[in-house]
Structure 1
Amino acid sequence: MPQTSIDIYLPQQARVEEIIVENSQISTFVLSFSDRAYNNGFRHRPGQFVLVSMPHCGEAPISISSPSTRPGTIHLSVRRAGTLTTAMHGLRLGDTLGLRGPYGRPFPMEQLAGQDLLFVAGGIGLAPLRGVLNTCLDQRERYGALTVLYGSRTPSDIAFQADLELWREKGVDCRLTVDATEAGWSGSVGLVTALLDTVPPELSRSTALLCGPPLMFRAVLGKLATMGFSDEQVLTTMERQMKCGVGICRHCHMDGKLACVDGPVFSLAELRKLKILELAE
């Protein structure tokens, strides 16, 4: 939403409309802005984030996990980790928190039109990709085949199960794997990289979208390269400590770039130019 008449540092109050418990550590908060005119005009693009604040808990960037095609509410999928996210997990329906944004460079949805999209995620990493995938489903004729490869620690840790079920019903090829099995699990056990062997892509029209923990990220990058994906065909989001969200404080400095305005979405080719070697090895 244009910020011309709004203080970019002033959070807008948002009300909790629904809480979806994804697993023991992740919940999705469905929010609407208390200012109805602001809420009606709010728009974002897949891959962008907001800065979330609560009294005495500070502020943190959180990816928007809802699609750009469904205005009216905003979804934030949050893993309990620090002071702010733990406080968010104590919210109840009707409670409020502060949001400002949206910020950041989104996924290039126009460039992805006509492409087969391969989503590879681990844990909470499916959250920013969820918005991309649901945007694709809402504009289904614009995109090619949609495939989701999702890894979790255990079957109990699999998040977004309602989404995964709905995606399957809509023709998305969803394949899951876990690090450790539990009673009743008959699916794949092992690293998400093993799932890549089961989905040979048509490289001339494919793009991989990747988000997950660093160890998974490095392993998947190596596997994608072996499969023939070029650096330009791999997109990801970068997590960095952000304070302002608008490129002023420079807390999210990345070798000449800022994650908050030049990202958080980058191609692997861009990351290699930035010498983000711990991710690109």
Structure 2
Amino acid sequence: MIPALFRVDRRIDEFAGTFTLYLSSEQSREPPLFRPGQFNMLYAFGAGEVPISMSGSPAEHNGYVHTIRAHGLVTQALARLRDGDTIGVRGPFGHGWPLEKAEGKNLLIIAGGLGLAPLRPVLCSLLQGQPAVKQATLFYGARRPQEVLFRDSMRDWRERIALVLSVDDADTQWDGRVGVITEPLRSAEIDGENSIVFLCGPEVMMRFCVRLLLDKGVPESSIYLSMERNMKCATGHCGHCQWGPSFICKDGPVFNYGSVSRWMNIRAL
């Protein structure tokens, strides 16, 4: 429960209001390893702490990478950090993406907006050959072209992963796909019985994607989604993130859709 001290080695501004921090431990030993999909509690001195998913490669053992949107007191304090500053870190916490279940299957990675950040460690693992999937496809939707995350990384991803990129709104300088990401997903040919899905984004987007996937024959048990809301303590004690019988921080943030379908209520869409 006591934060460890980490140093900001590098800060990258992704776009206005969203940034990535590269952190290294100020202790002599390496920080704990993490699984893609897990999160840390980041403590900004004088402001408080906030849960933020890992967005770096799990193969890098000397620190953590977090991509953050400044939208509250704590994240705005984190946004003021610069290279060399110190923050507190607790974690890693939670259950991550079940990479082992994607072995030998078609892996569909579906992300909306900042939801690409918790899925970036999965993409990093794929580039290193883990897991050995039959085929991997990334469906990624952003609000505007200037809000597309990890542009440099996408050049590497395209060599190994089929990438479908779409933006909701664009000007004449954008020559890519325009529209919500559910549109290319609806027209995609998906082998439901031999596919597994990792999904993260705004909740309404995830609900529409789940309904499309079910209509295409993907079983509920093959759909995994990350739910990140109301997490405060990260250990299941405060009760803020209770969702049905589960606590998102302790039992998630990655859930199998089949186990939480009654709480998402996609039939109401």
Distance 1:227 1:220 in 2: 11
Distance 2:267 2:145 in 1: 27
Distance 1:259 1:197 in 2: 29
- Residue of structure 1 in register with 2:123 after alignment: 133
Q: Work out whether 1:17 is the aligned partner of 2:6.
A: no
Distance 1:198 1:166, change over 3 A: farther
Structure 1: which 5+ runs fail to align? 1-8
Distance 1:144 1:280, change over 3 A: farther
Distance 1:14 1:279 in 2: 45
What do residues 109-142 of structure 1 show as CA deviations (whole Å, max 9, x unaligned)? 2222222111111110000011112112212562
Q: What RMSD, in angstroms, separates the aligned Cα atoms of the two structures?
A: 1.7
Of residues 147, 150, 157 in structure 1, which corresponds to 2:147? 157
Q: Is the 8 A contact 1:45 1:67 kept in 2?
A: no
Structure 2: which 5+ runs fail to align? none
Distance 2:135 2:68 in 1: 28
Distance 1:176 1:70 in 2: 27
Deviation at 1:11, TM superposition (A): 0.2
Distance 1:195 1:14 in 2: 41
Distance 1:41 1:74, change over 3 A: closer
- Residue of structure 2 in register with 1:97 after alignment: 87
- Residue of structure 1 in register with 2:27 after alignment: 35
Of residues 216, 231, 247 in structure 1, which corresponds to 2:220? 231
Distance 1:148 1:21, change over 3 A: same
- Residue of structure 2 in register with 1:4 after alignment: none
Paired-residue identity, %: 35
- Residue of structure 1 in register with 2:135 after alignment: 145
Q: Work out whether 1:263 is the aligned partner of 2:252.
A: yes
What do residues 27-51 of structure 1 show as CA deviations (whole Å, max 9, x unaligned)? 11110110021xx252111111011
Distance 1:280 1:111 in 2: 30
- Residue of structure 2 in register with 1:6 after alignment: none
Of residues 165, 190, 201 in structure 2, which corresponds to 1:176? 165
Distance 1:279 1:262, change over 3 A: farther
Q: Which amino acid counterpart does residue 277 of structure 1 have in structure 2?
A: N
Q: Is the 8 A contact 1:16 1:31 kept in 2?
A: yes
- Residue of structure 2 in register with 1:208 after alignment: 197
Deviation at 1:148, TM superposition (A): 0.8
Which structure 2 residues correspond to residues 62-77 of structure 1 after superposition, within 5 A?
Answer: 62-77=52-67
Q: TM-score, normalised by structure 2?
A: 0.94
Deviation at 1:217, TM superposition (A): 1.6
Distance 2:103 2:219 in 1: 18
Of residues 258, 265, 268 in structure 2, which corresponds to 1:277? 265
Deviation at 1:82, TM superposition (A): 0.8
Distance 1:61 1:86 in 2: 14
Deviation at 1:197, TM superposition (A): 3.7
Distance 1:141 1:222, change over 3 A: closer
Q: Which amino acid counterpart does residue 46 of structure 1 have in structure 2?
A: P
Distance 1:280 1:131, change over 3 A: farther
Q: Is the 8 A contact 1:268 1:280 kept in 2?
A: no
Distance 1:280 1:49, change over 3 A: farther
- Residue of structure 1 in register with 2:238 after alignment: 249
Q: Which amino acid counterpart does residue 4 of structure 2 have in structure 1?
A: Q
Count how many residue pairs are aligned between Structure 1 and Structure 2: 269
Which stretches of structure 1, 4 residues or longer, exceed 6 Å deviation after superposition?
none
Q: TM-score, normalised by structure 1?
A: 0.90
Q: Which amino acid counterpart does residue 94 of structure 2 have in structure 1?
A: G
Distance 1:130 1:199, change over 3 A: same
Distance 1:55 1:279 in 2: 44
